[in-house]
């Protein structure tokens, strides 16, 4: 639906109702994260994306939130209107951001990603709920609150399925032709889903498969290595997050410190049960 035909685009009363319900859902999801019943979730606005992670994920002992991309206007609003404490997630930027022109130059770029930690994530939640510019005023998303994506159910959530399409083609081989099977999956494929798919293919394809990945580019920077105050006890982390809804092996993977930097996986190949990948 476009802004011209959607019933909420010009109906302020309906917009207030939608925003009120969305605020309840957002708060519910944050509380699940805080109690470690949700490992992570995304807030997808028309301008930027926020990734909230539970304490214990990505090597951090506190709840973290990454926001990308950001602008100087958004950062100033977070400081002045929301009183949200944050830091540039890429340490190199701290050196240059002292000069106003450099801070403006990195707007909308991966380097503009900011990190919010601990109690400041709750302040960020309140800021986002009350932020007037969070909702688009024109276009397909006019009047609609941001999308919340989570691997677990939350208040007001609806379950959405990824779209899958299988293709069987004949490819030339030394002895003639052989069947080659491919599976195309589209939609908001979250990290836990990708890991689950690789585990499934590892088992069903006898340790031999390849995958091409097409990430949402503005969120690739979420793979950066965040500053870690202390080394976490993995056994304790896994025990505390037992009820977060993730497979134990997936939880083990997501609790590790990210290594990809500002890039993301593009190609994954398994041969004889051994992974190779490119970013």
Q: What is the pLDDT of residues 24-56, one digit of tens each?
A: 999 999 999 999 999 999 999 999 999 999 999
175/257 same-domain check: yes
Describe the chain by its helix, strand, coil percentages, rounded to 5.
35, 20, 45
In-domain check, residue 213: yes
Closest CA to 241 of 63, 116, 27: 63
55/180 same-domain check: no
Percent pLDDT > 70 in the chain is 92
84/191 same-domain check: no
41/83 same-domain check: yes
pLDDT of 2 higher than 70: no
pLDDT of 208 higher than 60: yes
In this predicted model, what pLDDT tens digit does every residue of 241-259 receive, in sequence order?
Answer: 999 989 999 999 999 988 8
181/119 same-domain check: no
140/191 same-domain check: no
131/240 same-domain check: no
Domain termination residue (choose one: 126, 149, 172): 149
Give the chain's domain count.
2
Closest CA to 187 of 162, 150, 155: 162
Assigned token pair, 6: 């959607």
pLDDT recorded at residue 179 = 80
Distances (CA, A) of 110 to 74, 113, 191, 263: 15, 6, 19, 10
| Window from 104-118, 207-221, 265-279 with minimum mean pLDDT | 104-118
133/170 same-domain check: no
Provide the domain limits for residue 268: 163-278
Domain termination residue (choose one: 149, 183, 203): 149
In-domain check, residue 155: no
CA atoms lying within 13 Å on the CB side of residue 239: 5
Write the DSSP assignment of 194-228 as a string of letters.
HHHHHHHHHHHTTT-EEEE----GGGGGGGSPPP-
Strand pairing category for 40-44 and 209-212? unpaired
pLDDT of 205 higher than 60: yes
Domain termination residue (choose one: 121, 149, 177): 149
Closest CA to 222 of 45, 33, 49: 49
Cβ neighbours, 10 Å, residue 226 = 19
In this predicted model, what pLDDT tens digit does every residue of 75-101 receive, in sequence order?
Answer: 999 999 878 888 887 754 444 444 455
pLDDT of 182 higher than 70: yes
């Amino acid at each position: 639906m476009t802004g011209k035909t959607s019933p909420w685009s010009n109906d302020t009363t309906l917009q207030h109702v939608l925003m009120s319900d969305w605020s309840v859902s957002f708060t519910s999801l944050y509380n699940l994260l805080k109690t470690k019943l949700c490992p992570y979730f995304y807030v997808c606005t028309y301008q930027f994306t926020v990734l909230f992670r539970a304490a214990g994920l990505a090597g951090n002992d506190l709840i973290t939130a990454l926001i990308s991309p950001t602008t100087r206007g958004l950062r100033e609003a977070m400081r002045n209107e929301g009183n949200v404490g944050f830091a540039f997630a890429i340490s190199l930027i701290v050196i240059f951001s002292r000069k106003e022109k450099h801070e403006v130059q990195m707007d909308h770029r991966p380097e503009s990603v900011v990190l919010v930690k601990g109690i400041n994530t709750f302040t960020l939640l309140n800021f986002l709920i009350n932020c007037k510019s969070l909702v688009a005023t024109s276009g397909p998303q006019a009047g609609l609150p941001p999308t919340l994506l989570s691997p677990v159910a939350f208040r007001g959530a609806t379950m959405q399925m990824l779209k899958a399409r299988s293709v069987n083609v004949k490819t030339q081989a030394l002895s003639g032709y052989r069947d080659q099977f491919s599976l195309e999956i589209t939609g908001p494929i979250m990290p836990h889903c990708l890991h689950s798919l690789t585990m499934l293919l590892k088992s069903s394809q006898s340790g031999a498969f390849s995958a091409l990945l097409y990430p949402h580019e503005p969120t690739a920077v979420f793979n950066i290595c965040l500053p870690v105050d202390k080394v976490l006890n993995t056994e304790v982390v896994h025990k505390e997050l037992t009820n977060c809804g993730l497979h134990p092996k997936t939880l083990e993977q997501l609790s590790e410190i990210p290594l990809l930097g500002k890039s993301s996986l593009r190609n994954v190949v398994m041969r004889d049960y051994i992974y190779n990948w490119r970013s």
